[in-house]
A and B are shown apart, each in its own frame.
Chain A
Amino acid sequence: MSVAQPPINHPEIRRLEPVLAPGHTYETVTATISDVVIKRPLGLGWFAGFTLAFTFLMVLTVAVAWLIIKGVGIWGINVPIGWGFAIVNFVWWIGIGHAGTLISAILFLLNQKWRTSINRFAEAMTLFAVACAGIFPLIHTGRPWMAYYMFPYPSTMGIWPQFRSPLIWDVFAVSTYGTVSLLFWFVGLIPDLATLRDRAPHKWQQMIFGALAMGWRGSARHWHRYQSAYMLLAGLATPLVLSVHTVVSFDFSIAIVPGWHTTIFPPYFVAGAIYSGFAMVLTIAIPLRKAYGLEDFITMRHLENMAKVMLATGLIVAYGYFFEFFMAEYSGNKFDVFLVDQRLHGPYSPYYFALILCNILTPQLLWIQKVRRNIAALFVMSLIINTGMWLERFVIVVISLTRDFMPSAWGRYSATVWDYATFAGTLGLFTTLLFLFCRALPAIAMAEMRELVAHTSKDHD
């Protein structure tokens, strides 16, 4: 070991747990992670979880089929509340995806070693969340089979999309985000697919992983280009993830509706996205590490760091809430002042207070180290924050739309059973994909873990 570079888990460098439990070699990290995919039989717990998730996925197919048969009238949307659950859920899901990109790209650029064991499944979470998010605007159009109108293609009608519209920006932002996230994830997987190809006991596994690995052989020339591409992708994904939620917030803030038309929306949406995304990473990581014995790789240090990120982004979100109120009062705009009053005393005020409780008050417990290091408390906290972030989008969409300028145009909104079924259905889609992912592909990046072993072990001479 060189003297200049002490191992990153050196007690004097970090008075915390290591990011990788001591005593691991290349072989043990690779075996622990790859055996889940290629050797371990499917257990009863997996089947039970998968069945439950798949049932909810079937609820989604029924809800969407019924929607296509009957139209958006089966939902609670009306005039003036044209957005409802579909947009609430869209923003919620796309926000959840952002933590995956943050972990894989931004923490990579900042050289945060603790990202290594959580980036793979966080990126998978991103992809699945984007898939769930993408469903909502599509079915919300009412005629999803016409959705291709939003893409610029040379139509016989001679019409083109309106590129000045935030909704078209959204199409480009979300589809680019989905594509780049998939590329990033796949590039990270290539060396691991080669490892699985070389270790798989069955011919069919070797063939599938072999085809996906494209003949990766770990050549130094290949690694050199691979690292350049990976670094560049991280550099590209970083502004991309900020732009995506910025564009999502433009869907609101470009409109003149009170409560939407504010310049604080882009940063506050991005912070909220990361907040809910980290909550979802914890919701997934805590059962995953337990079920597959990955506690050595996803250590207490990871969980505590994620809790700290949640605390920080939660405070940014709180600042956003505060400034919405402050700017309304300070501007004296009577519609904005009225909106504040509606949040506090209007028909939907219980949602607002629940949001404050979930997103602002409860997470303050994370200041206490005992809470950050209590796995059960963190799990519950992550669920509370996810609920809170969903409520935030509900408050933004519904309270602003029900009572805007003219009392004669006011309305009320309540979701129908189909709204709830579609939302629950996307939760089913998300968890089904996660269950399949954690048994079909390595949930932790093996090549990066071996790199971590090389950095932390004494194998340097």
Chain B
Amino acid sequence: MEHHEPQLYGVMAEFETANQLLHAAEKVRDAGYKHMDAYAPFPVEGLTEALGLGRNKVALTTLLGGLCGGLGGFGFEYWVNVVSYPMNIAGRPLNSWPAFIPVTFELTVLGAALSAVFGMIAMNGLPRPHHPVFNIHRFARASTDRFFICIEATDPKFHLADTARFLEGLHPQHVTEVQDE
């Protein structure tokens, strides 16, 4: 077995309320940090803006998935019922497109929904069973009633002592180093 030296992942501060987290995130952003993340037990309104995160690409992925589903669905129906296996029923047109719409619609929704969900999971980098933040014992409460912010060691402005002192200044419950074991 190979043994890794524990590496510093970042410094994490713990807060008791969503509002404290929101104010802390704004201060961290204003202090010029770029590589950081906040952790909350529910989506906190305004946290995305407070951290200075941009728009995400879930909507675009969903649109593309929906288009693929819809165009692919209609194209496939056309190919099946007009080209591959045409059936002349009482001389009606082979490309009876209104009759193809229900399946086209269903496949549009299916394509969009699958790409929304799997796109979201993939862009979030999940499944990822292990992450350095899970090494912190207190982090178990991040899924119930505690709010965390972590400044990562990869940030150009990161300096262990300074960053820890900066986070202490935001009046958290607790500040701790996060090791990547």
Known A222-B124, A232-B112, A243-B105: A217·B76 in contact at CB below 8 Å? no
Known A164-B96, A179-B113, A183-B113: A220·B51 in contact at CB below 8 Å? yes
Are the CB atoms of B81 and A163 closer together than 8 Å? Answer: yes
Partner of A195, one of B41, B62, B106, B107: B41
Are the CB atoms of B42 and A214 closer together than 8 Å? Answer: no
Chain A interface residue count, CB cutoff 8 Å, equals: 65
Q: Residue of B at shortest CB range from A226?
A: B120
Residues from chain A with a CB closer than 8 A to the CB of B80 are 152, 160-161, 163
B68 CB to closest chain A CB, in angstroms?
14
- Asked whether A459 is an interface residue with its Cβ less than 8 Å from the other chain, the reply is yes
Q: Which residue of B99, B123, B140 has the most chain A CB atoms within 10 A of its CB atom?
A: B99
B117 CB to closest chain A CB, in angstroms?
5
B20 CB to closest chain A CB, in angstroms?
9
- Asked whether A422 is an interface residue with its Cβ less than 8 Å from the other chain, the reply is no
Q: Residue of A at shortest CB range from B105?
A: A243
Known A160-B80, A176-B106, A220-B51: A226·B112 in contact at CB below 8 Å? no
Please report the C-alpha to C-alpha distance between residue A227 and residue B47 in the assembled complex, in whole angstroms: 12
Are the CB atoms of B142 and A217 closer together than 8 Å? Answer: yes
Per DSSP, chain A at the interface is helix
Q: Which residue of B47, B123, B128, B144 has the most chain A CB atoms within 10 A of its CB atom?
A: B144
Partner of A221, one of B53, B100, B113: B53
- Asked whether A287 is an interface residue with its Cβ less than 8 Å from the other chain, the reply is no
Are the CB atoms of A198 and B144 closer together than 8 Å? Answer: yes
Residues from chain B with a CB closer than 8 A to the CB of A219 are 37-39, 124
Binding-face segment, B1-9, B129-137, B166-174: B129-137
- Asked whether B58 is an interface residue with its Cβ less than 8 Å from the other chain, the reply is yes
Q: Residue of A at shortest CB range from B128?
A: A215
- Asked whether B151 is an interface residue with its Cβ less than 8 Å from the other chain, the reply is no
Please report the C-alpha to C-alpha distance between residue A406 and residue B51 in the assembled complex, in whole angstroms: 73
Known A163-B103, A454-B42: A211·B120 in contact at CB below 8 Å? no
Residues from chain A with a CB closer than 8 A to the CB of B51 are 220
- Asked whether B121 is an interface residue with its Cβ less than 8 Å from the other chain, the reply is yes
Interface residues of B (CB under 8 A from A): 17-19, 25, 37-44, 47-48, 51, 53, 56, 58-59, 62, 66, 76-77, 80-81, 84-85, 87, 96, 99-100, 102-103, 105-107, 109-110, 112-114, 116-117, 119-121, 123-124, 126-131, 133-134, 139-145
Sort A-B residue pairs by CB-CB distance and give the 10 closest, nearest first. A214-B127, A26-B145, A229-B120, A228-B58, A164-B99, A220-B38, A169-B102, A215-B128, A195-B143, A223-B43
